[in-house]
Amino acid sequence: MAKRPNSSSTAGAATARKKSTAPHHPASANCPHPKGILIPIGGAEKRGVDAQKTPTSDDMASESILQRFVNELPNKGPILVIPTASEKAEEAGKEYVDIFKSLGASRVDVLHIESRQQANAEESLQLLEKAEGIMFTGGDQLRLTALLGGTQLQRRIKERYTHERFVIAGTSAGATAMSTPMIYQGRNDAGMLKDEIHITTGLEFLHDVAIDTHFVARGRIVRVAQIIATNPACVGLGLEENTGVVITKGRELEVIGEGIVVIVDGTSCSSTNIHEIQPGEPFTIRDLRVHLLSRGEKYTLPILEQMHV
């Protein structure tokens, strides 16, 4: 007959099982920092030259946002412009080719993506492989996610951003699409009522951050606050026009440009009623932390590190 374990041995086994639980490791132990650089821009960036003049070196703003993008490239190019978000993609692509060449880029190509098939095409991937950085133009961010999301092009961009010094810039819609969650609908004067703001998954270069652009000019802090109320683990990053941030290691920010950056941090909020009220009713959130940062300021986003691929 098998010998029954006594109560002390049973308790000891239980303790042993409890102790054998894998210890908690910080995310950074398993999730390496991305080696790439993100440069989201709040829109209406100055292009470095006076449109009425022939471009010369004297017209270039040495500290301009677009110049900083070019300077971050290991060999100042090639650059791949992706004007998919724009309704006038041909015009937007040509404009950025001219701008980047005037700012010293070694080479500039344009990749027109008008279908998901094109985003999976070998020709598109080959253009991406040649580039040291990409520029997403403004327009409609939903076009970017609908046409690029889940494609080979999006995956390869994420891989290069994670494992290489690959620079990704985007302005207006091109900046908003970088993050997850992504705002894609909501009037400038809206946001105080539940469900006025629509969000979806962005291109996933920056996790747990909601980027909004034209932030001060269009009074968008309330709509970002609603996103934070729905998930206080998310951080709001509001970019004013002609202002951007250079993001390294997936979370280290440096402000560039002429305006301010607004950080809306809800991780320490004490309460919200967003889950209790009906659609169309105003929401409440208490104890948000808000930071206003000007050029040269640095900030570490209070987000958990995680895999970028």
State the catalytic residues.
Answer: 172, 214, 241
- Distance (Å, whole) CA 147 – CA 99: 26
- Distance (Å, whole) CA 244 – CA 256: 5
Q: In b/e form, how buried is each residue of 164-189, taking b as 16+ CB within 10 angstroms? A: ebbbbbbbbbbbbbbbbbbbbebeee
Helix (H) or strand (E) holding 184: strand 182-185
SS3 264: strand
- Distance (Å, whole) CA 100 – CA 79: 8
Going by the DSSP 8-state scheme, the letter that residue 278 receives in this structure is P
Give ∠ CA 15-22-252 in degrees, rounded to 5.
145
Give which of 46, 106, 23 is closest to 70, Cα–Cα.
106
